[in-house]
Chains A and B, each alone.
Chain A
Amino acid sequence: MSKPVIATASLAGCFGCHMSFLDIDERILELIELVEFDKSPIDDLKKFTRPVDIGLIEGGCCNAENVEVLRYFRENCRILVSVGECAIMGGLPAMRNLIPLKECLEEAYLNSPTVAPEDRLIPNDEELPLLLNRVYPCHEIVKIDYFLPGCPPSADLIWEALMALIHSQPLKLDYPLIKYD
């Protein structure tokens, strides 16, 4: 039987969840014995090369590109996991949800005292992904199978969850793994 395939993405996140993932330290050697990686910032593959078993999503969706990447993951991953506060609830980026997009952009690019008068322009380059009216958690856009809470979820929590998925075992969450304060 071939090894399970893993893919990861960071949407509107800070890469902190990916960093936490790397905090599994030397267990990464054990992991690469168990799985193969497909599209992920870790191996810098830009496109899926095969069907994926487990997709890990960090971050919510703040722009159209995030939405498209997330949908692309859903189409290609058998199991999709929201990893961390931003993917699950929008997190820090979602703080802008209380303010209309127009006000946010005007404050940043038109009215801020640090913007020189000749630079006053809301960025409109075609290369830039269009911002969404608010930041959305992933499960409002595609079906999410599992949620790993935390900001970030600890390396141990990510490890335990991956092991459970890889071995098709029920997840055992010891209290310290999900204790946040």
Chain B
Amino acid sequence: MDPIRKILQKYKRDRTRLIDILKDIQESEGSITQQAIELVAKHLKISRAEIEGVITFYHFLSDRPLGKYAVYLNNSITSEMAGRQKVAEALEKETGCKFGQTSEDNLVSLFETSCVGMNDQEPAALINGVVFTSLNEEKVRKIVAGMKRGLAAQEMVEEYGDGANGHELVRAMVKNNIRKAGAVIFDEFTPGQAIAQALNKTPEGVIEEIKKANLLGRGGAGFPTGLKWELCRQEKSDQHYVVCNADEGEPGTFKDRVILTERPQMVFEGMAIAGYAVGAHLGILYLRHEYTYLKKYFEYLLQKMREEGILGKNILGRGFDFDIEIKSGAGAYVCGEESALIESAEGKRGEPRDRPPFPVQKGYLDKPTTVNNVETLAASARIMLRGSSWFRTLGTSVSAGTKVLSISGDCQRPGIYEVEFGITVRELLEMAGAQDTLAVQVGGPSGNCISESGFGRKICYSDLATGGSFIIFNRRRDLFAVVRNFLDFFIEESCGWCVPCRAGNVLLKKKFEKIVAGLGTAQDLAELEAWGKIIKSMSRCGLGQTSPNPVLTTLTNFRELYESRINKKADFIPEFDLGQAVMDACQLTGRKFKEESENAR
């Protein structure tokens, strides 16, 4: 049987597995050809256009043939700061191939990609799905030499990282860098006990306990978890679902990667607990493509849990059935938004849905679904073990518990910090060994860029909320370069549905560049701010609603930087240069251009 048919059979011709099917086809055939598309369309009974729509939506799917080694170099700001440019140049020089292209001998394709969740060990790249961290010119030379000798990407990983990164099913050079382990997530965890505790209660009792603990969503938005479960449970339906959002794409966030590496069973048990609470029998772990290297390890652990009776049919002999399925993303930041994630989990383009109905009403396959962050689910497992009153002794009155932060950028100790809510930015900077700090980006590009006057502010839901990203910039950094990087990120990742987000961010960037180039006026600055607000208010999902934040928050906290670039005397400065604009026409017609010809007057 040909490989494509085999893949279709493996996924039982399930429409919702389209992305997995396409990824497998690409891995087996090198790309997704027209014939493959036709075959898949026939077997899944969907149109070719639908499949092409999915392929073009996701960054890591390609209908063009790729080289034997597909290199995706991270272009996030921390990668830039750690020397991405030199690595990119070395890659181009060694492979003889430019970014966005495939080398003539079809050995290598080079691409840029958005944050791959390795900000504490940049520059990082994915090569055929294998993670390479802390790259430099020397390492690039070695890797490309390995490619020329035909080594598999995995064979080029010489040293494994700490903890489960070294497990035989992971074998990744990724480092955990856990700098501070807290009481909720990174304390000791014995599999099986949390779910046992939950099963001692009624589902309503579990929800009550989570509510009493005041657990708020750890993805950043802070929706009360207990309430979400309760709303989901109350929806009458033949099926309910639990989805674990492991699609952390916010640049600077890598805490879910470390939680999943070191506490995977805690997350899986959290899913089972959520399933018990809402009345679901299936949980979906939506794993971002960049973390696919952990998939085999998870599958092994899930199997182990089934064998130990803490997952699957009749868990711990208590009559509760719950299983977990892993579904993969294929490279799209917007899929971190829960309704886009659900679309993607159904094997479609990851475009956000209109809300309401909310996922708790109509989610996965239009059934009531609770979508929770990795850390939220892990925390709920801990709450089952230690109780809500213990949990509330941690953190602040509004924000109970701990928060796992991923700290990167200009500091001596980048990595993972599990801290109690209420910690100040200044305390974190000290902990991480940051000096001469100019700015901190809290919550990633979609969050807030704060200046020294805000370093006394607290990490909590009532002050600085964050999904975990905490990027430090010292005084030698050009803040405009940071904003530029973030704007490029949103332009790249906009799904394109809403015009204000798709076109607005491009216009915002143009206006920003005009000001940075010294060609801006007070009017331009006012427009920059006004347009940012339009994009925020006229986009339907969180991506568009937060995409102008890099501009708007630096305008608030570093206004003097912008003020210093604008021309206060002129009321209009055009970027337009007539001589430049007619240059093409002069060349094509062999004519010379005289400014201000009389015939116009």
A130 interface contact, C-beta 8 A: yes
A21 interface contact, C-beta 8 A: no
A24 CB to closest chain B CB (Å) equals 29
Check if A131 sits within 8 Å of B576, measured CB to CB: no
Chain A at the B interface: SS class: mixed
B159 interface contact, C-beta 8 A: no
Check if A72 sits within 8 Å of B601, measured CB to CB: yes
Residue of A nearest to B589 (CB): A124
Check if A136 sits within 8 Å of B576, measured CB to CB: yes
Q: Which of A69, A122, A126 contacts B600 (CB 8 A)?
A: A69
Once A65-B599, A140-B576 are accepted as A-B contacts, the answer to whether A130 and B586 lie under 8 Å apart by CB is yes
Contact with A along B382-400 (1 / 0, CB 8 A): 0000000000000000000
Residue of B nearest to A101 (CB): B584
Q: Which of A113-137 contact B (CB under 8 A)?
A: 122-124, 126-127, 130-134, 136
A96 to B361, CA, bound (A): 47
Band of interface residues on A: 20 to 34
A178 interface contact, C-beta 8 A: no
A78 interface contact, C-beta 8 A: no
A residues in contact with B601, CB < 8 Å: 47, 68, 72
B residues in contact with A42, CB < 8 Å: none
A87 CB to closest chain B CB (Å) equals 15
A132 to B580, CA, bound (A): 9
Residue of B nearest to A48 (CB): B601
Check if B593 sits within 8 Å of A64, measured CB to CB: yes
Check if B583 sits within 8 Å of A133, measured CB to CB: yes
A124 to B575, CA, bound (A): 27
A3 interface contact, C-beta 8 A: no
A108 CB to closest chain B CB (Å) equals 12
| Residue from A64, A102, A133, A141 having most chain B Cβ neighbours under 10 A | A64
Contact with A along B290-308 (1 / 0, CB 8 A): 0000000000000000000
Check if B600 sits within 8 Å of A130, measured CB to CB: no
Contact with A along B564-601 (1 / 0, CB 8 A): 00000001101110101111111011110100110111
A residues in contact with B590, CB < 8 Å: 124
A130 to B580, CA, bound (A): 12
Once A47-B601, A69-B600, A102-B584 are accepted as A-B contacts, the answer to whether A130 and B575 lie under 8 Å apart by CB is no
Q: Which of B585, B597, B600 contacts A101 (CB 8 A)?
A: B585
Check if A140 sits within 8 Å of B585, measured CB to CB: no
Once A64-B578, A72-B601, A140-B576 are accepted as A-B contacts, the answer to whether A130 and B589 lie under 8 Å apart by CB is yes
A72 to B585, CA, bound (A): 22
Q: Which of B580, B583, B589 contacts A122 (CB 8 A)?
A: B589
B residues in contact with A45, CB < 8 Å: none
A132 to B581, CA, bound (A): 5
A166 interface contact, C-beta 8 A: no
Residue of A nearest to B590 (CB): A124
A47 to B598, CA, bound (A): 12
Residue of B nearest to A106 (CB): B588
Once A64-B593, A124-B591 are accepted as A-B contacts, the answer to whether A130 and B576 lie under 8 Å apart by CB is no
Check if B588 sits within 8 Å of A105, measured CB to CB: yes
Check if A130 sits within 8 Å of B591, measured CB to CB: yes
Residue of A nearest to B579 (CB): A64
Check if A130 sits within 8 Å of B582, measured CB to CB: yes
B599 CB to closest chain A CB (Å) equals 7
Check if A123 sits within 8 Å of B589, measured CB to CB: yes
Check if A102 sits within 8 Å of B588, measured CB to CB: yes
Residue of A nearest to B514 (CB): A140
A120 to B447, CA, bound (A): 57
A67 to B593, CA, bound (A): 13
Q: Which residues of A contact B (CB under 8 A)?
A: 47, 64-65, 67-69, 72, 100-102, 105, 122-124, 126-127, 130-134, 136, 140-143
Could you show 17 A-B contacts with beta carbons less than 8 Å apart? A64-B578, A64-B581, A65-B597, A65-B599, A65-B600, A67-B581, A68-B596, A123-B589, A130-B589, A131-B584, A132-B582, A132-B585, A133-B584, A134-B581, A140-B574, A142-B572, A143-B572
